[in-house]
Amino acid sequence: MRKSKAKKLTDAYCRSLNRLDKPYFKPGDFPGLQFWVTPGGTKTWCFQYRVKAKKYQQRKHLGNYPTVTVVEALKRAKELDRKVFNGEDPKETEKVDILKMQLGEVIKSYYQD
């Protein structure tokens, strides 16, 4: 039996990842959770999922690394996975919520994320 070379994503490991010439990601501790590092040095969390009505997989941005910790990203990924399992599309519900909000509230929520 071979041991997996994948490392568990911890705070220290995420901090130590360096930027390269092209974007790359490390798989997280939850199925679909990904930690992306861009050439500019930005580190972000994404959750990749599949909805029945869509042909391709969707990717939802969960937040930037220092702001969103490893534990918080795992919590957000589990919440999104539960919504997808119940038949909701997180991107569609976000669009509906934004349409219901007023412009000032949208700008505030954009800068908070």
Per-block average pLDDT, block size 10, for the chain (113 residues)?
A: 62 86 84 88 89 81 87 89 84 72 73 75
Q: What is the pLDDT of residue 57?
A: 82
Q: What is the pLDDT of residue 5?
A: 57
Handedness of CA 64, 70, 76, 78 (dihedral sign): positive
Instruction: Say if 106 falls within a structural domain.
Output: no
Instruction: Say if 80 falls within a structural domain.
Output: yes
Instruction: Say if 108 falls within a structural domain.
Output: no
The DSSP output letter for 101 is S
Instruction: Say if 78 falls within a structural domain.
Output: yes
Instruction: Say if 60 falls within a structural domain.
Output: yes
Q: Please state, in angstroms and rounded to a whole number, the distance separating the CA atoms of residues 99 and 85.
A: 24
Domain CATH number, residue 58? 3.30.160.390
User: Which residues lie closer than 8 Å to 77 by C-beta, 6 or more apart?
Assistant: 28, 30, 32, 33, 45, 47, 62
Q: How many domains does the chain have?
A: 1
Q: Are 82 and 90 within 8 A, CB to CB?
A: no
Residue 8: CB atoms within 10 Å: 9
Instruction: Say if 28 falls within a structural domain.
Output: yes
Instruction: Say if 48 falls within a structural domain.
Output: yes
Q: Please state, in angstroms and rounded to a whole number, the distance separating the CA atoms of residues 94 and 88.
A: 11
Instruction: Say if 113 falls within a structural domain.
Output: no
The whole-angstrom distance between residue 99's C-alpha and the CA centroid of its chain comes to 22
Domain around 29: 11-87
